[in-house]
Amino acid sequence: VGNKFFDPIASPGKLFNTGDETQLQLGDQRLGGNLVEVPVLGELLAEHGLSLATLSSGTPGGARMLNHKAESLGAFRFALHRPDASLPRETVLEMQKQLGPVPEHQIPSLDWLTYSTNAYLNFIEPELHPDVCILWFCEPDNSYHFRGLGSPENLEALHQADLEFGRILDWHRSRKKDQDLQIITLSDHGQLTVCGETINLKEGLEEAGLSVGEPPGNGVDVALTVDSAGGIYVRDSDPELIRFIVDWLQHQPWCGPVLTRTGEHSLKLEYAGLDHPRAPDIALVLKSDDSVNTHGIMGGCWNNSSFYPTGGGIHGGLHAMELKSWLAAGGDCFRSGHRSELSSGIIDILPTVLQVLKVPIPTHVQ
């Protein structure tokens, strides 16, 4: 999974970067409000008179996607990376008046965790009273990426995240019993350690005789969006060109699973849930293994991006350690002490929230 995809309408002239708040806003406008092709949580709640508030210390684009219809719904959406793009403006200004400005971003992002928790406890709950609130912590993800899994900075971030979550639990326990709150806590992925030298996929494809750039077409054979995993968009989705690239990839020492729509000499995109019109012509995962990093954490992989340092963390592939995540729920709607053996993930949160609130689950929800 990568954070970029090719959509010539949403992002003419370049790949569409879902981490960029401005690109998401413009892309949604160009697509007539259909960047996401089905109603999502904020819209489904609003249809039944319920409200969603979101606060994120993650990427600006990720913050927007948690509540991307906030403008039209009049909902609260706050991004620590982009207070200027947060909504509604009057509410945002009032919150910052009470809490102060967002602290300077650092790694580990300890102050951002505290600011996020303060915003939830001291403003969002008492002032906005949302029916659902999503509170997105940027740690331990930031320190995993840039300081390494199990590093002292990473452990400090984990400790701080636990402290801030503990503040929320202490507040919850202090409330009146008739004010029931359901809490779901989860991580969206695990991570691997970037091992060895960074490969240069662009250079390799160019040496194989292909032109690489953005977007594919008009003299550009392929567009790349690959870190430890991702995709290749091929000019005109040319079958012969796809076959050539698949064959070339499978002869590289760093190449892991390769997936295409047809599954010709590869796995099929549908096997990984990627069979979508915006999916790349070729999806690939770089090799990973069970090596142990300098801090004793298992799981390593190759990488195609210099953005993440060797020894840092990365995710997006198919190794068990990056697919495993944390999910727990508490409240009177959930069985106490129960552990489910069923496979589950972030995709299951939306229908769970809807069921708890007695909102009908649409047929498009898996």
pLDDT number for residue 84: 95
Q: For residue 361, is it within any domain?
A: no
132-136/52-56 β-pairing: parallel
Residue 68 belongs to domain with CATH number: 3.40.720
| Contact between residue 107 and residue 146 where contact means Cβ atoms under 8 Å apart | yes
Residues 233 and 300 in one domain: yes
Residues 347 and 302 in one domain: no
Burial call 230-245: b when 16+ CB within 10 Å, e when fewer: bbbbbbeeeeebbebb
Count of the separate structural domains present in the chain: 2
Neighbours of 15 (CB within 10 A): 21
Cα 341 from Cα 210, distance rounded (Å) = 47
Residues 50 and 68 in one domain: yes
Render each residue's pLDDT in the chain as its tens digit; 366 residues: 468 999 999 999 999 999 899 999 999 999 999 999 999 999 999 999 999 999 999 999 999 999 999 999 999 999 999 999 999 999 999 999 999 999 999 999 999 999 999 999 999 999 999 999 999 999 999 999 999 999 999 999 999 999 999 999 999 999 876 568 999 999 989 999 999 889 999 999 999 999 999 999 999 999 999 999 999 999 999 999 999 999 999 999 999 999 999 999 999 999 999 999 999 999 999 999 999 999 999 999 999 988 899 999 999 999 999 999 999 999 999 999 999 998 888 889 999 999 999 999 999 887
With a CB cutoff of 8 Å and minimum separation 6, the contacts of 346 are 186, 188, 325
Cα 39 from Cα 213, distance rounded (Å) = 33
Q: Which domain holds residue 283?
A: 201-322
What are the tokens at 288?
A: 């990973």
pLDDT number for residue 196: 80
Residues 17 and 75 in one domain: yes
Residues 298 and 233 in one domain: yes
Residues 94 and 118 in one domain: yes
Neighbours of 47 (CB within 10 A): 12
Residues 11 and 120 in one domain: yes
Q: What is the pTM of this model?
A: 0.94
